[in-house]
A and B are shown apart, each in its own frame.
Chain A
Amino acid sequence: MSVATLTKKILHAALFYEIWDAMKVTFRHMFHRPITFQYPREQRTLPDTHRGALSLLRYDDGRERCVGCDLCEAACPSRCIKVISAEDPTRPLQRYATEFYIDITKCVFCGYCVEACPVNALAMTKMYEFSTHDKRTLLFDKKRLYDIGERHLSDAKKYLYAHNQEKNVEESREYRYYFPQSVLKATQSTPKHLS
């Protein structure tokens, strides 16, 4: 070991050079613009295709889109959806989902259910905050899903648009299923929306 390197080593040790060297990076960052988001206070802008919480949608006239066909349940790879359907007692021959559950703790956010839905009643939103004190509240029921749908309606519509599922209001009417009426008398005219 030469004298010069020895001197350098002693000098470095005496002046805590390594610490100053490391602190250089720290001090340099004090003058940078921060890269991280201050998450709860700051929110990231998400792309329209983002697959967040699932929601149920209504038509413009307030009718539930869901016809309770169970296809989402069939498509779900993690089996987190449960649909129980029945005939609407107030409007005979109308099938609807009496109960609709999505266990969001099991959900893998694959979006297959949205693809499977024939009436575009399901959509994903940009909502992703699920933290709760009670795990049981993570079993979303029908009311909760419609609430999410109402609150994030524009996001849900953007999702459907971004995934080429639904273009606009006009086109969405085509997906709407109109149930037949029951026989009331021998000859009866076709309902208004069908003529």
Chain B
Amino acid sequence: MGLKPATNPDVEATSIELSIDGKTVVAKDGVSLYDVISSTGKIIPAMCYHYTFDPFGSCGMCLVMQEGKKAPVRSCTAKATAGMVIRTEGEDLFLARKKAVEKHLSVHPLDCPVCDADGHCELQDMAFQHGVTNLASAKQKFIPEDTRSLVLDFNMNRCIACAECINVCKDVLMIDALQFMKKGGFNQVVAKGDLPLSCEFCGDCLAVCPVGAITNKYSKYLYKPWQMKKTATTCNYCGDGCQLYLETKDSEVIRVTSPLSWKNKWGDREETAKGHGGLCVRGRFGFEYLDSKTRLTQPLVREGNQLVPKPWLEAMHQVVDRFTDVKQKHGADAIAGLITARCTNEELYLFQKLMRTVFGSNHLDSSARYGHMNFVHASRHALGFGRTPNDWEDLTKAKAILVIGSNITETNPLTAVRIKEAIRVYKAQVVVLDSTVTNIGKLASHPFLIKPGTEGWVIDGLVKATIDQDLVDENAISKHPKAYEALKAALANISLEQIATYTGISGDAYREISAIMAEVPRSIFLCAEGIVRRPDGYQNVLKLIDLAWITGKLGQPGCGVNTLTEEPNEQGAVDMGVAPEFLPGQGRYDDTAARDRFSKAWETTLPATATGANLMEILKRCKSGQIKALYVIGENPLATLPASVEVRSALERLELLVVQDPFLTDTGRQAHFVLPACTYAEKEGTFTNLEGRVLRVRQAMDPVGESLPDWHIMTALANALGAQWGYESANDIQTEIMKLLPGYYNLGQPRKVTPAPDQYLTNGYAAEVKTRYRATAPVTDAKRPFALVMGQLLVHSGKMSTEAPGLINIAPNTGKLRMNAGDMQRLGLQEGTKVRVTSERGSLQLGVQPDIAQAPNTCFFPEHFNEPPVKDLMAVQVDAVTGVPSFKHTWVSIEKA
């Protein structure tokens, strides 16, 4: 980004020496002179420059004197070359810069008092610094304000035409939603075609605007920047773990700002060192649920058919009595617990400690079970660690990236920005294999549209093509010739042409993709919801690992098989042992050494190994009456799982259901006790993001109403049940985790993991691989030709984002099925026409709407909404090894109702 050194990760740029203000500075050849100067700690003003994109050179502020030139030069567009002699200070430069400020100010309205950027405005700072007091020929623009967009207002009177917004949108985010247009005698920034802005609404244009020309609709006119308390914390929408600043005033969240701003072009740029520091629409505009009116403020206790507010003490006494009662009557195995991966590491750790030591039950699970567990198990089984091996930097510098079954720009937008950077700066080849027309597919060099539900067959084809073309890495397979023979034998009765007909992409395409992935030095495999949330997710991840192994990409720097997580702390939930099969630190629960270590540390005996139940098993046992009490923290299985799982009847059979949540969820309405919990803005803690980085969550405001942090409630519960827990803050829990898992708190720099596949490839690989690759065709049903997929939208995350009015305003629940326009025409449907959708699980009547992202014969409904209950059409298939339920894809028939 910016003027990059004449280099790529493979070739190191030559070092050159130049003199800046009499000091010799060493720099890389070909970088922007401005970057060299600012790396020495000097701050020279620049209003149109930001290092994340190419210099534009319109503001004329970054002037420096170069020896041998008469006039000052613009340092941003100048390239650093050897032997330059540069002067950055002096009376002449000051006057030249002052002239530039006066030029900008002469067409800038002096409306600082009402401007939102007042106090955070580069033009204001520069006018002050250069002492501009009199303007000879000031002119006003009188441009009406563009308020048509849903989240941003464009006041082009204030614009200084620096084009930072346009450049960041086009170059960094590759969205290209803004342009210059000459209107009323002035160059103005308008949305493409002068239409109301309709884009991904990431708001990075707002962040880089050095003046107040682009303003945030949510916080417009409310407060000045200096009035708000700014708290650096971690976003809790997806697994990217973006850093953000929550700006609060008393108990109100006013706005969210990103580390990316016009300010961080100076200094060490530490805030934006990992990535570009921007946010997505969820992070920036989805903060309103934090202080929403619908938040629970008091504990609720069921009295008859109603939930009645009660004081904390009374509610807690009752909860404790009922738990004690259940434990005495039915034993510890009658108690189970579920927790969401939106909780902090400390709370997840405390939860499993509470379940295992206080309740004495090993029936516990987290929402990582909905998909991430497939990846963790596969990776642990094959390579010995249960997380992604690559970080964002590896993604940026990859030469080839295979994205399979992932709508990455929608689910994890900021990881997608890393891939965009790889495409743009390092010219990476990106292969996208998906059954929908994804955004990343439009940017990729090799986009392929596959038939829905055939991701597994696609990987078969890739492995087959690699072996057929002899693209295997000799070093990798020579260590395990037997395993390779077994793999070859397993694939012997699979033909590429057959797979091509199953999956809808040609055999040549397979050959091309496998050649790309095998031949480049750094290739990354990325699989997400299309693999891990679908049937055979575990096996498909293992197949990808096979592919990485035979192409020699296991353990190579910058290579590996990765996944994306939907919730912020799914990785943390696994690492903290919130699963019946894991102890903290991913030790197996039946591993005697690990058990001894933790039972000694916790001064108790752990529950027996054989009994632990995971999510689906817990629900099954609730239904059969084996489990009598369920403790649910932030989870909402009733609204998530299809009706065929019969969650409602399972919950109704419970003697005690305690739900702890910031909101009254569907599951909460069934509960006997609802305890109000805090959101991430009201507590301290850490999240572990998808790279394995542990990121701080800081308290930005006081808890809403009487709500309490989850760890606080759990500690109180444990102490009332007879434990002696002395945690007074999240920090105390952190100290305990630090002792038990040394090195887990990695301060933003995860330990590099090295895959150890030897064990896996030598022991029982042959038997495993025989069943993994099958020559059977994908199941199709002539009566149900359409694939119905439920997935995530860019604007939403889980059910939580639906509590944020701002996000609902951008993407409301249309209640309509999204279909391919061609299909709609074929069936004679208009937008809004009611159709009957029938799957093997039932049928439903709902409207349709065209969606350009849908391929022919597929349709889509966002998983965030249950109105109408499309999720109930889904069949649930539980993975035999990992217990992951998959219910995001089914076959349906569509006819006019």
What CA separation (Å) do A15 and B147 show in the bound complex? 95
Is the Cβ of B146 less than 8 Å from the Cβ of A183?
Answer: yes
> Which A residues are CB-close (under 8 A) to B148?
183
B333 to chain A, nearest CB (A): 55
B118, B140, B144, most chain A CB atoms within 10 A: B144
A159 to chain B, nearest CB (A): 20
Is the Cβ of B147 less than 8 Å from the Cβ of A92?
Answer: yes
The proximity string for B residues 135-162 relative to A, scoring 1 for CB distances below 8 Å and 0 otherwise, is 0000010111111100000010100000
B214 to chain A, nearest CB (A): 14
> Which A residues are CB-close (under 8 A) to B140?
194
A193 to chain B, nearest CB (A): 11
What CA separation (Å) do A70 and B254 show in the bound complex? 16
Is the Cβ of B144 less than 8 Å from the Cβ of A177?
Answer: no
* Segment at the interface with A among B6-14, B219-227, B448-456, B643-651: B219-227
> Which A residues are CB-close (under 8 A) to B157?
180
Say what secondary structure dominates the interface of chain A: loop
Q: Tell me if B111 counts as interface (CB < 8 A to partner A).
A: yes
Is the Cβ of A181 less than 8 Å from the Cβ of B145?
Answer: yes
> Which A residues are CB-close (under 8 A) to B142?
180, 190, 194
Is the Cβ of B113 less than 8 Å from the Cβ of A118?
Answer: yes
Is the Cβ of B227 less than 8 Å from the Cβ of A73?
Answer: yes
What CA separation (Å) do A182 and B147 show in the bound complex? 6
> Which A residues are CB-close (under 8 A) to B224?
69-70, 74
What CA separation (Å) do A79 and B227 show in the bound complex? 12
The proximity string for A residues 36-72 relative to B, scoring 1 for CB distances below 8 Å and 0 otherwise, is 0000000000000000000000000000000111110
Is the Cβ of A70 less than 8 Å from the Cβ of B223?
Answer: yes
Q: Tell me if A95 counts as interface (CB < 8 A to partner B).
A: yes
> Which B residues are CB-close (under 8 A) to A177?
111, 113-114
B140, B144, B145, B221, most chain A CB atoms within 10 A: B221
Is the Cβ of B144 less than 8 Å from the Cβ of A184?
Answer: yes
B143, B157, B224, B226, most chain A CB atoms within 10 A: B224
Is the Cβ of B114 less than 8 Å from the Cβ of A69?
Answer: yes
Is the Cβ of A87 less than 8 Å from the Cβ of B144?
Answer: no
The proximity string for A residues 65-102 relative to B, scoring 1 for CB distances below 8 Å and 0 otherwise, is 00111110110000000001111000011010000000
The proximity string for B residues 205-249 relative to A, scoring 1 for CB distances below 8 Å and 0 otherwise, is 000000000000000111110110000000000000000000000
Q: Tell me if A188 counts as interface (CB < 8 A to partner B).
A: yes
A67, A92, A95, A179, most chain B CB atoms within 10 A: A95
- Contacts known (A73-B227, A85-B221); A183 close to B111, Cβ less than 8 A: no
Is the Cβ of B145 less than 8 Å from the Cβ of A180?
Answer: yes
What CA separation (Å) do A119 and B110 show in the bound complex? 12
What CA separation (Å) do A177 and B222 show in the bound complex? 18
> Which B residues are CB-close (under 8 A) to A86?
221-222
- Contacts known (A95-B114, A177-B113); A182 close to B226, Cβ less than 8 A: no
What CA separation (Å) do A179 and B111 show in the bound complex? 9
A178 to chain B, nearest CB (A): 9
Is the Cβ of B223 less than 8 Å from the Cβ of A180?
Answer: no
Which B residue's beta carbon lies closest to that of A88? B221
What CA separation (Å) do A177 and B157 show in the bound complex? 14
The one of A67, A84, A181, A184 in contact with B114, judged by C-beta atoms closer than 8 angstroms, is A67
> Which A residues are CB-close (under 8 A) to B223?
70, 84-85
Is the Cβ of A85 less than 8 Å from the Cβ of B147?
Answer: no
The proximity string for A residues 140-183 relative to B, scoring 1 for CB distances below 8 Å and 0 otherwise, is 00000000000000000000000000000000000001011111
Which A residue's beta carbon lies closest to that of B118? A69
What CA separation (Å) do A93 and B115 show in the bound complex? 11
Is the Cβ of A119 less than 8 Å from the Cβ of B146?
Answer: no
Which B residue's beta carbon lies closest to that of A69? B113
Is the Cβ of B145 less than 8 Å from the Cβ of A85?
Answer: no
- Contacts known (A182-B145, A183-B145, A190-B142); A67 close to B222, Cβ less than 8 A: no
Is the Cβ of B221 less than 8 Å from the Cβ of A68?
Answer: yes
What CA separation (Å) do A67 and B194 show in the bound complex? 30
A95 to chain B, nearest CB (A): 4
Which A residue's beta carbon lies closest to that of B226? A74
Is the Cβ of A87 less than 8 Å from the Cβ of B221?
Answer: yes
A86 to chain B, nearest CB (A): 6
The proximity string for B residues 87-126 relative to A, scoring 1 for CB distances below 8 Å and 0 otherwise, is 0000000000000000000000001111000100000000
Which A residue's beta carbon lies closest to that of B220? A87
> Which B residues are CB-close (under 8 A) to A184?
144
B187 to chain A, nearest CB (A): 16
B112, B143, B222, B226, most chain A CB atoms within 10 A: B222
- Contacts known (A118-B113, A179-B114, A180-B157); A95 close to B147, Cβ less than 8 A: no
The proximity string for B residues 784-808 relative to A, scoring 1 for CB distances below 8 Å and 0 otherwise, is 0000000000000000000000000
What CA separation (Å) do A70 and B113 show in the bound complex? 8
Is the Cβ of A71 less than 8 Å from the Cβ of B113?
Answer: yes
Which B residue's beta carbon lies closest to that of A93? B145
B791 to chain A, nearest CB (A): 35
The one of B113, B145, B220 in contact with A119, judged by C-beta atoms closer than 8 angstroms, is B113
> Which B residues are CB-close (under 8 A) to A70?
223-224, 227
Which B residue's beta carbon lies closest to that of A70? B224
> Which A residues are CB-close (under 8 A) to B226?
74
Is the Cβ of A67 less than 8 Å from the Cβ of B113?
Answer: yes
B367 to chain A, nearest CB (A): 38
> Which B residues are CB-close (under 8 A) to A183?
144-148
The proximity string for B residues 522-559 relative to A, scoring 1 for CB distances below 8 Å and 0 otherwise, is 00000000000000000000000000000000000000
B34 to chain A, nearest CB (A): 32
A80 to chain B, nearest CB (A): 15
> Which A residues are CB-close (under 8 A) to B144?
180-184, 188
**Interface residues in B591-638 (C-beta closer than 8 Å to A):** none
A110 to chain B, nearest CB (A): 20
Is the Cβ of B143 less than 8 Å from the Cβ of A85?
Answer: no
The one of A71, A85, A92 in contact with B222, judged by C-beta atoms closer than 8 angstroms, is A85
What CA separation (Å) do A186 and B148 show in the bound complex? 12
> Which B residues are CB-close (under 8 A) to A71?
113
Is the Cβ of A180 less than 8 Å from the Cβ of B114?
Answer: no
B244 to chain A, nearest CB (A): 24
Is the Cβ of A182 less than 8 Å from the Cβ of B146?
Answer: yes
What CA separation (Å) do A181 and B184 show in the bound complex? 15
B151 to chain A, nearest CB (A): 14
> Which B residues are CB-close (under 8 A) to A68?
114, 221
A125 to chain B, nearest CB (A): 23
> Which A residues are CB-close (under 8 A) to B147?
92-93, 182-183
A19 to chain B, nearest CB (A): 67
What CA separation (Å) do A23 and B38 show in the bound complex? 84
B400 to chain A, nearest CB (A): 45
> Which B residues are CB-close (under 8 A) to A73?
227
Which B residue's beta carbon lies closest to that of A179? B114
> Which A residues are CB-close (under 8 A) to B145?
93, 180-183
What CA separation (Å) do A85 and B114 show in the bound complex? 10
Which B residue's beta carbon lies closest to that of A86? B221
> Which B residues are CB-close (under 8 A) to A67?
113-114
The proximity string for A residues 4-47 relative to B, scoring 1 for CB distances below 8 Å and 0 otherwise, is 00000000000000000000000000000000000000000000
A185 to chain B, nearest CB (A): 9
B673 to chain A, nearest CB (A): 38
A65 to chain B, nearest CB (A): 11
What CA separation (Å) do A177 and B110 show in the bound complex? 9
B155 to chain A, nearest CB (A): 6
B546 to chain A, nearest CB (A): 57
A64 to chain B, nearest CB (A): 13
> Which B residues are CB-close (under 8 A) to A69?
112-114, 118, 224
A-B contact pairs, 15 of them (CB 8 A): A67-B113, A69-B118, A70-B223, A70-B224, A70-B227, A85-B222, A87-B221, A92-B147, A95-B114, A95-B221, A177-B113, A180-B142, A180-B155, A188-B144, A194-B140
Given pairs A182-B144, A194-B140, 11 additional interface contacts (CB within 8 A): A69-B118, A70-B224, A70-B227, A84-B222, A87-B220, A87-B221, A93-B145, A119-B113, A180-B155, A183-B146, A183-B147
Residues in B lying within 8 Å of A, measured CB to CB: 111-114, 118, 140, 142-148, 155, 157, 194, 220-224, 226-227
Considering the complex of A and B, which 3 residue pairs feature the smallest CB-CB distances, nearest first? A69-B113, A95-B221, A182-B147
